[in-house]
Amino acid sequence: MFHNVDPDAPRVWRIGEPFAEFAQRFVPKTHGMWPGQSWLMDKLHITKRPRSEYDHRMLQLHDLAKADLQYQRSAPQQTFEFAPGATWLVFSDQALHAAMRGRAMMEQTFYLDPAAIADRTHSPEAVLSRMLGKPMLPQH
């Protein structure tokens, strides 16, 4: 959840293409975790909890897209302006987004159990699992 606390100016975002199209472009450039990497990162307090394959791949996707200036210039995108005082919700793993303008906002992150998603067919986790042929989250 985001809230534009600037009383005078909008918060301007770029919203990108659907996640599946984005993933087709960048997933082949990602790599899986090494055996024991999640455990070691947790024990060394590099991460707050053991990192899932999903989180590992999503971080790489974020970094790859951010570093690819040609992709940023040419990818399908739309500009959204959030007025002063506006509040909006976004499933940030699914909605490619970049803040382009704005001075002050508040953000609150909510962590949702993936099992609580009624239709996971198009979720980033499901897309990555299909593309890579294995589950991205631990099976309980």
Q: Given a cut of 90, is residue 30 above it in pLDDT?
A: yes
Report yes or no on 69 lying in a domain. Answer: yes
Give the separation between CA 133 and CA 106, rounded to whole angstroms: 38
Q: Given a cut of 90, is residue 115 above it in pLDDT?
A: no
Which uninterrupted H or E stretch holds 4? Answer: strand 2-4
- pLDDT for 111 equals 86
Report yes or no on 128 lying in a domain. Answer: yes
Please state, rounded to an integer, the average pLDDT across all residues of the chain: 94
Report yes or no on 137 lying in a domain. Answer: no
Report yes or no on 44 lying in a domain. Answer: yes
- pLDDT for 140 equals 62
Residue 7 near residue 85 (C-beta atoms within 8 A):
yes
Range of the domain at 81: 2-132
State both tokens at 59.
């971080």
Q: Given a cut of 90, is residue 118 above it in pLDDT?
A: no
Number of domains in the chain: 1
Q: Which residues contact 104 (CB under 8 A, 6 or more apart)?
A: 4, 5, 6
Give the separation between CA 52 and CA 58, rounded to whole angstroms: 10
Give the separation between CA 125 and CA 112, rounded to whole angstroms: 13
Report yes or no on 138 lying in a domain. Answer: no
Pairing of strands 77-82, 11-16: antiparallel
Report yes or no on 61 lying in a domain. Answer: yes
Report yes or no on 79 lying in a domain. Answer: yes
Q: What is the pTM of this model?
A: 0.88
Q: What is the pLDDT of residues 47-103, one digit of tens each?
A: 999 999 999 999 999 999 999 999 999 999 999 999 999 999 999 999 999 999 999
